[in-house]
A and B are shown apart, each in its own frame.
Chain A
């Protein structure tokens, strides 16, 4: 069975319109609007930026300025699985760099990139607030703590197996 993931989704301008209207076409609501669009598509598609700018009567460069200022927003579609490694203080001291290195090896891509097969995106995050279980990562939003280079491999391999199971 192949389930459609968010990065296959075609941009629907009607949906973008609906989100902007839900927030009463207020320029002040641009962050929640962008958040909802990213929630839908996994990133902020350029055509959506143009559309929002038209609605709000601002330049699309203004919206780009917002998207690039706030670290949460992506301009590229992410892979099917998003892994975020915490690089907060506790995780840094607990070996976040090594964890990143180990994950890179397992998924075949480096920080800030998506693997060639589109399966994995590896990102960094400032602190997940789970510092007492450092080092931590999130996998598709789920937090895993007390990791080491070996146990993080298990987490990644499980995702890979799930993928194989889906293909069958």
Chain B
């Protein structure tokens, strides 16, 4: 690692997908070209995501004197940062992220999985080694497999892919199963819409996942590892490929690893756009070149998995925890969290949230702390209405219950699930019936079709929700929804079907009034459901600029320049484009 003295600087640019989507590559390029030819001692480093996605493009400038974060950096701002801060020694105060903001975002977090994210260069194995990387593998290889498994068991680590199954128990099962070769699969299919923990970890710190898989390989007695990554994550795949190459070169992957009697190879398989393939047995079918359809368990993959061999399958985050636990000990990990949910959990904060991004918190923290303290409240500044946890298999939890601790047991009691860690915050603009409809649309689309009730039942539920949001619902529909929910739960083979009713059941449980408004008053209180609203233009606010006229896809808007415009409700299709586009907020839904 480069030595940092008084005059030497490190500039880190966040270049995970979030940083890149915000324009990070251009910012990095401008830094590079502006620094060229200048006689400055600066190391310019691409890093992953530190979690403050809402501030992207995020640039960290540090020297021995301290460090400063710049948020929302544009290519135009680069020159002044170099001139004033690097050359002049004076940070550009108005562009920096205030220290209080960093503190309130970071101080409640405990970063184990995210220990290197946004700090090291994900494409440099040297960076990973400098931060203690692969030391846990060394340590694990000096222990017996059963001792490693014991350490994981005592840490209390539970699978982070959604179900929360005890990781040590699963490893032991695979260890004891007869048959060879044995496989280790890393589930990086991350199909839940609204979740991006695994993407961020893979893009920001790929070696930590590889190291976790290697340790699992040793513990289980496996010789082959497969990373199953969804195709929608090209950058993660690219960085993993690079990491694999580097790890092979250094002898962490291959034969006789670190001089021990341990051979282990890792390869990558890309998903092909099917949510159900995140389910472990479907994932295995997909690797075998078949259509990904879940099968009945038992036998569990631990006993009969890929090609009928014992297979241990864990989630990305689960693996990323492993090196830390081996390095720091089970006790250190179990010191965080609650009685039955040990350690930390990564959450992807999105939706209407002021500080959306990636956070890692000790299990047991309250929803309120996450949303209000870490996340800074809603994006709109209005009260938060609910959070959605667990994606299409999960449910909503109303703000009134936000003091409950986030752990597997407490969240399950609400009817939602912790799930993989997607947390979508909603304010009063979100319609709960629409949210339920959104998830049902997703599950019925993604049902593999094997179980009749999942295939037809989800479609039937979706039709009913469409009826309700279309203003044609009746009270009997709610009873039908509840009956269908019970049937689907009972007669589906996998979690997709079993949990598909959760979004409906939780919204019905906590927001039944809102359903009733749609049914009896034919009104959508959140002003979201197209059939139940009308768009009008408030004459006193409309400057008559003509923008909405140009955007209206059906020519429903008319009016002379500089005079208030009007919308013809008979032509209007309520797409809401005019409402989004109007700079004066003159178009409103009633």
Contacts and interface: CB of A to CB of B under 8 A. Distances in A.
A93 interface: yes
A133 B193 contact: no
A133 B232 contact: no
Contacts of B196: 127, 129-132
Interface in A117-146: 125-134, 136, 141, 143-146
A104 B426 CA distance: 28
B226 to A, nearest CB: 12
A102 B356 CA distance: 25
Contacts of B22: 133, 145-146
A132 B438 contact: no
A109 to B, nearest CB: 13
B294 to A, nearest CB: 13
Interface string A79-113: 00000000111101111011001101100000000
Contacts of B289: 26-31, 66
B350 interface: yes
Contacts of B286: 31
B301 interface: no
Contact of A28 (B191, B193, B288): B288
Interface residues of B, number: 62
A131 B580 contact: no
A65 interface: yes
Nearest to A102: B577
B371 to A, nearest CB: 14
Contacts of A69: 274, 291-292, 448
A65 B193 contact: no
B351 A90 contact: yes
B234 A141 contact: yes
Highest count of chain A CB atoms <10 Å: which of B22, B357, B426, B439: B22
Contacts of B54: 132
Nearest to A150: B581
A46 interface: no
Contact of B231 (A28, A35, A132, A144): A35
B232 A125 contact: yes
A127 B551 contact: no
Highest count of chain B CB atoms <10 Å: which of A129, A130, A145: A129
B349 interface: yes
A149 B581 contact: yes
A130 to B, nearest CB: 5
Given A89-B424, A145-B21, A132 B348 contact: yes
A46 to B, nearest CB: 19
Contacts of B221: none
A129 B422 contact: no
Given A35-B231, A69-B292, A132-B349, A149 B577 contact: yes
Contacts of A98: 575-577, 580
Nearest to A28: B289
Given A31-B272, A105-B553, A146-B22, A90 B350 contact: yes
A28 B439 CA distance: 32
Contact of A35 (B56, B270, B287): B270
Contacts of A149: 551, 577, 580-581
Contacts of B275: 126
Given A129-B232, A131-B195, A95 B580 contact: yes
B273 A71 contact: yes
Given A98-B580, A104-B553, A133-B21, A71 B424 contact: no
A151 to B, nearest CB: 11
What bracket does the count of chain A residues touching chain B fall in? Answer: 35 or more
Given A89-B424, A101-B577, A143-B21, A131 B291 contact: no
Given A35-B231, A125-B232, A132-B357, A88 B274 contact: no
Nearest to B52: A132
Nearest to A71: B273
B352 interface: yes
B200 to A, nearest CB: 8
Contact of A89 (B194, B199, B356): B194
A101 B575 CA distance: 7
Nearest to B236: A129
Contacts of B438: 89, 92
A131 B20 contact: no
Highest count of chain A CB atoms <10 Å: which of B272, B442, B581: B272
B269 interface: yes
A148 interface: yes
Contact of B233 (A129, A133, A144, A146): A129
A69 B20 CA distance: 31
A93 B427 CA distance: 10
B580 A132 contact: no
B232 A127 contact: yes
A129 B192 CA distance: 9
A90 B232 contact: no
B18 interface: yes
B575 to A, nearest CB: 5
Interface in A3-25: none
B430 A93 contact: yes
B281 interface: no
Interface in B16-62: 17-18, 20-22, 53-54, 56
B441 to A, nearest CB: 9
Nearest to A131: B350
Interface string B284-298: 001111111000000
B388 interface: yes
Interface string B365-391: 000000000000000000000001001
Contacts of B272: 31, 34-35, 70-73
B205 interface: no
A69 B446 CA distance: 10
A32 B577 CA distance: 40
Given A89-B422, A149-B551, A149-B581, A136 B234 contact: no
Contacts of B194: 88-90, 127, 131
B190 interface: yes
Question: Which 7 pairs from chain A and chain B are nearest by CB?
Answer: A88-B193, A89-B194, A71-B273, A132-B356, A70-B272, A132-B53, A72-B273
Interface of A: 26-32, 34-35, 65-66, 69-73, 87-90, 92-95, 97-98, 101-102, 104-105, 125-134, 136, 141, 143-146, 148-150
Given A70-B273, A127-B194, A131-B196, 6 more contacts: A89-B422, A92-B193, A127-B195, A128-B17, A130-B17, A144-B21
Interface of B: 17-18, 20-22, 53-54, 56, 190-196, 199-200, 231-234, 269-275, 286-292, 348-352, 356-358, 388, 391, 422, 424, 426, 430, 435, 438-439, 442, 446, 448, 551, 553, 575-577, 580-581
12 contacts: A65-B291, A69-B274, A73-B273, A90-B351, A125-B232, A129-B196, A130-B196, A132-B348, A132-B358, A133-B21, A148-B581, A149-B577
